[in-house]
Structure 1
Amino acid sequence: MFENFPFYLGILIVILLLIMLANKIKVAYPILLVLAGLVISFIPGVPVINIEPELIFFIFLPPLLYEAAWKVSWKEMWRWRRIITSFAFVVVFLSALSVALVANYIIPGFSLALGFLLGGIVSPPDAVSAGAILKFVKVPKSISSILEGESLLNDASSLIIFRFAMIAVATEQFLFYKAAASFSWMIIGGVTIGLFIGWIFMKVHQYMPTDSNIDIVLSLLTPYVIYLAAEEVHSSGVLAVVCGGLLLANNRHRFLTSKSRLQGINVWESFCFILNGLVFMLIGLDLPQITKGLEEANISITTAVGYGVLITIVLMVSRILSSYGAVIITSITRKFITGTENRNPGIQTPFILGWTGMRGVVSLAAALSIPVFLNNGNGFPQRNLILFITFIVILLTLLIQGLTLPYFIKKIKFTTIDDSLSREEVYNNIRQELAEFAVNYLKTNYNEQVENSSALQHLILKWEQHSNGIYDESIAIELKDIYLDLLNKQRQWLTNKNKEDQSLDESIIRRQMHYLDIEEEKLRYL
């Protein structure tokens, strides 16, 4: 371990340099990291990196899912709930089914259970890859919201397929009534455990004498505790982490201080940044081990590559066709269900949603978690071939779809999805309304103090001019309490505004909330 420490340190440096290069040339960094890992793996003398299969899920998935749940907007998820549900469950299942049927028919020795196992591994698209690409191009908020919501749920649905296929391969039988009961418990148990443990952590934050450092450490422990608890009772750890994360994220202003929120954002972004970089580099570094396994199984590289290309094509085609089907069905159902989004997505949106099918972290983790041996001591059938096909799928989808997605987005004119006002215009309008609310609140509740305090008069003037804060360092201590009260009332106003205006982008509200947190922290230094 320690003799390889310089190598691990060098890998981190290479990851940082490649991500900076990716930002410079405006290419999604997962593409460069996978290719770099592939090149490094062929350098003579490079240490072989082996991670215990059962630890793959536990190390990478809980924090990445938890951070994604904190970033996603619950309101946007509910707004696009039907199309998100269609993509996260129906599209994933159809993709897995397509892979299972083709693999069973084409690949010698591949049973239907093994086909579903492979389908469960490669069916969920990777949100990190899509997000890394979309930051370089402009897409309607609706598309990014759908992709964010899908990424939270498709991991759970694909891993449920993966788990049932693992059981079928290990036992060589599939009992429907047992599968139905197990499926129900995985869903219900995962949701219940996630919400319950999330609620416990929320109360710990709220009532125990924590500070910002303790809050951040607790937040780092939360996804692992939730995941482990759910998996111990054989429910869905992924779904539990997602539900717990959504609960805590939507109540963050009730139990976390502004300092904890501000510092927590930086810590979590850095932590997940490193995790994502490592896992994509690991994809490339693991190729020699995978090809060695193919040789031991007497499978030629050429044949295995052909299978990987075929499965990749099946995934691309099935996702695009399923995307159009999901959008069409959603468009039909909205005519009969009140409260459903009534905007016409056009023919461009399903194509873009279908083309954002790059595979990555979840697929790698699932493939590597396949045990080497079955419970009876026999080797797991087709394990090395499944690993190699998964690698080819990840590599090809990153290269083909990842490199061409920006081109298609730039060529497509999105004119019918989002509102006419730009995000900056909406943000400025919210800021205008918030400033008016702040001025009225101060004049109504602190009129006497305003008349006797030049600092408060200066503060009102700043709000009236839409200033970015207060700069008068002579503000008195007693007046800070007034300003803190004002900030809390503004947060409540923003929360109510977000609930009342269902068409308002929640990320704009969160941006303004972040600004208020900064304002509160500035008071500590005045």
Structure 2
Amino acid sequence: MRSSPRACRGRRTHGWTRFRRSRTCGTTLDPAVATFGAHEELQLLLLLLTALALLLLADPLRIPYPILLVVGGLILGFAPGVPTVVLPPDAVIVGILPPLLYSAAFNTGLRDLKRNVRAISLLAIALVTVTMVAVAVAAHYVIGLSWSVSFVLGAVVSPTDPIAATSIAHRLGVPRRAIAIVEGESLVNDGTALVLFKFAAAAVVVGSFSLVHAAGDFVWTVLGGIAVGLVIGRVIRFIRFRVNNPPLEVTIAFLTGYIAFLPAAALGVSGVLAVVTAGVYMGWHTPELTTVDTRLQGDGFWAIFNFLLNALLFGLVGLQLQPILDQLHGLSWEQLVGYAALLWLVVVGMRFACGFPIAHVPRWLSRSLRERDPTPPWQFIAFIGWAGMRGGVTLAAALAIPLETDAGASFPDRSLVVFLAFSIVLSTLVIQGLSLPAVVRLLKLERDDLDEREDAKARIHAVDAGLARLEELIDEDWVRDETAERVRGMYTFRRNRFGARLDGSDEDGIEARSQDYQRLRRELLEAERGAVLALRNEGKISEDVMQRVTRDLDLEDSRLDV
């Protein structure tokens, strides 16, 4: 079928693929530019295999996978024959960030946010603002950017990303409170930085700026985003309460980030804060709404999905650098590296310069605060300072910088701003990420056992509730005496085991016997799996039966870690 001339005129170019008009004005790809034939398929396969190889290396090398993906993407971006990746400005901020932010907010403990609200607020609001101003001053006076563009750059590089830092911190046993502050700060400062970015970019695009007007818009943007998030959270909770279909519930959870982000953006308020608010709200209420099957399926889905999205996001950091460099003219490599190094020093320096006052000044001003929450050791503050790496939100904001102003002119120095933002992501991930384990060991941060103790307390409390319910049911006709005694014995053993774990002693050898039991059970379960697989291979049972039986065996295996 031939396309009409009118339809042809409406076609536009998107993403990394460019089209040429054929004689029918159809969708023929220009073979010289972007034909996705065998050569491009091989290139795509190379990219995927490289990413897989880097991910496989992450665990043996004990390096967080975002760092390897950034470096690998950077190398591939400069390799000859690799296709150029050019994303639309809002592709990352709209397409990738909402589910990632929702998942992070969902898994952030509301109790930890409340307990550390002062530190998180000061880091996520005051430090972000100060960092933006400091970067803007350096960019204006040293690099020569205009004030408005300098503030855009400052807003882009001010938010932190906790993925690499927290993966290292968990492995090395950093105190839980430090991890909670780093994660909570990142969650809130994403919203703060993107709101500031919105106003800074608007000032460049429009060509004017009113502080009074911006202050009013800032309040509306923040409060409106939180309000939209609460409304969406309540609506989703209402829907989830009436749904009992695990795949559908997991799908609703996945879409919640977009459901919160898009209406907020349409109303002109913060979509990021809407997503974060909805995520925290649903994280608190979801355990009351979901069944065992939903939780098991949801945990597996989010683990894989978060991993893939983060891999894509951090890989794009490196792949995007080559096309950006192609647009920079008149600047030498020495100048670019010097500018990037200067801004990295400013970003890290402001974090340390503000970190210690944030910890000390409130306690100097409040005696009750000093008594209730003593000043943390300097090593604690130093870790939080060095853990301030940049990542996905900085990348998303940089790519979201408009291409043109309202006057039709190109956005001033856009390529340089994007390059410097990407340089900050690369330098913080590589320099701070690779050195963080050594820094943690140098600071001699002591591992706390708060998680282990709370875990044991929770399990003891749960066992006691089960035993109490057993006593209520023991006189029921359907509860046989031998069944009740067998269950009571199992619960009593578990309670004694968790009690030994809580006390930190194992005088009766309960924990040791339990570990021997785990080892024995795993040997038997492995034999069971082999037998079931052999039946499948011999054609004596179907694939469905094999999968159902092995799933039950896997669930038994996973229970042994408790």
With normalisation by structure 1, the TM-score equals 0.84
Tell which deviates more after alignment, 35-44 or 13-22.
13-22
The equivalent position to 1:303 in structure 2, one of 331, 335, 338, is 335
Matching residue's letter, 2:89: P
Could you say which residue in structure 2 is the equivalent of 1:267? 301
Contact 2:232 2:260 in 1 (8 A): yes
The 1:244/1:468 distance shift into structure 2, 3 A limit, reads farther
Tell which deviates more after alignment, 454-463 or 216-225.
454-463
The 1:101/1:437 distance shift into structure 2, 3 A limit, reads same
The equivalent position to 1:466 in structure 2, one of 476, 480, 494, is 494
Could you say which residue in structure 2 is the equivalent of 1:510? none
The 1:429/1:248 distance shift into structure 2, 3 A limit, reads closer
C-alpha distance in 2, partners of 1:288/1:68? 30
The equivalent position to 1:321 in structure 2, one of 353, 357, 366, is 353
C-alpha distance in 2, partners of 1:335/1:271? 46
CA displacement at 1:341 relative to structure 2: 5.0
Contact 1:41 1:285 in 2 (8 A): yes
CA displacement at 1:378 relative to structure 2: 0.3
Deviations for 1:312-366, whole angstroms, at most 9, x for unmatched residues? 111110111111111112333553459x951330111111111112111111111
Matching residue's letter, 1:455: T
The 1:423/1:249 distance shift into structure 2, 3 A limit, reads closer
- Does 1:435 find its partner at 2:433? no
Deviations for 1:460-515, whole angstroms, at most 9, x for unmatched residues? 2111110899xxxxxxxxxxxxxxxxxxxxxxxxxxxxxxxxxxxxxxxxxxxxxx
Could you say which residue in structure 2 is the equivalent of 1:17? 53
Could you say which residue in structure 1 is the equivalent of 2:314? 280
CA displacement at 1:19 relative to structure 2: 2.0
Could you say which residue in structure 1 is the equivalent of 2:31? none
Matching residue's letter, 1:128: I
Matching residue's letter, 2:123: F
CA displacement at 1:278 relative to structure 2: 0.9
C-alpha distance in 2, partners of 1:177/1:378? 27
1:436 aligns to what SS in structure 2?
helix
Contact 2:199 2:214 in 1 (8 A): yes
C-alpha distance in 1, partners of 2:79/2:408? 35
Contact 1:79 1:341 in 2 (8 A): no
The 1:236/1:451 distance shift into structure 2, 3 A limit, reads closer
- 1:103-502 pair list within 5 angstroms: 103-108=139-144, 110-207=145-242, 209-295=243-329, 298-333=330-365, 335-336=367-368, 342-414=373-445, 421=449, 423-449=451-477, 452-466=480-494
Could you say which residue in structure 2 is the equivalent of 1:500? none
C-alpha distance in 2, partners of 1:453/1:203? 42
- Does 1:56 find its partner at 2:92? yes
Deviations for 1:225-244, whole angstroms, at most 9, x for unmatched residues? 11011000110000000000
The equivalent position to 1:95 in structure 2, one of 131, 139, 149, is 131
C-alpha distance in 2, partners of 1:32/1:281? 9
- Which structure 1 segments of 5+ residues have no match? 470-517
Deviations for 1:36-94, whole angstroms, at most 9, x for unmatched residues? 11111122111111211122201121111101011111101100110011111111111
1:399 aligns to what SS in structure 2?
helix
C-alpha distance in 1, partners of 2:217/2:180? 31
Matching residue's letter, 2:74: L
Contact 1:436 1:464 in 2 (8 A): no
**Structure possessing the higher relative contact order (Cα contacts under 8 Å, 6 or more residues apart):** 1
Seq. identity, %: 33
**How many aligned residue pairs are there?**
465
CA displacement at 1:32 relative to structure 2: 1.1
C-alpha distance in 1, partners of 2:479/2:262? 58
C-alpha distance in 1, partners of 2:258/2:390? 24
C-alpha distance in 1, partners of 2:257/2:44? 25
Deviations for 1:195-234, whole angstroms, at most 9, x for unmatched residues? 1011111111112x44001001111111011101100011
1:455 aligns to what SS in structure 2?
helix
C-alpha distance in 1, partners of 2:251/2:431? 39
The 1:225/1:89 distance shift into structure 2, 3 A limit, reads same
Matching residue's letter, 1:432: I
With normalisation by structure 2, the TM-score equals 0.79
Contact 2:343 2:424 in 1 (8 A): yes
C-alpha distance in 2, partners of 1:33/1:449? 61
**Aligned Cα root-mean-square deviation (Å):** 2.3
The 1:386/1:238 distance shift into structure 2, 3 A limit, reads same
CA displacement at 1:5 relative to structure 2: 4.8
C-alpha distance in 1, partners of 2:70/2:230? 36
C-alpha distance in 2, partners of 1:213/1:204? 14
Contact 2:148 2:200 in 1 (8 A): yes
- Which structure 2 segments of 5+ residues have no match? 1-16, 18-35, 498-554
Contact 2:363 2:369 in 1 (8 A): no
- 1:65-76 pair list within 5 angstroms: 65-76=101-112
CA displacement at 1:104 relative to structure 2: 1.1
CA displacement at 1:9 relative to structure 2: 4.5
Could you say which residue in structure 1 is the equivalent of 2:62? 26
Matching residue's letter, 2:348: M
2:224 aligns to what SS in structure 1?
helix
Matching residue's letter, 1:352: F
C-alpha distance in 2, partners of 1:432/1:253? 19
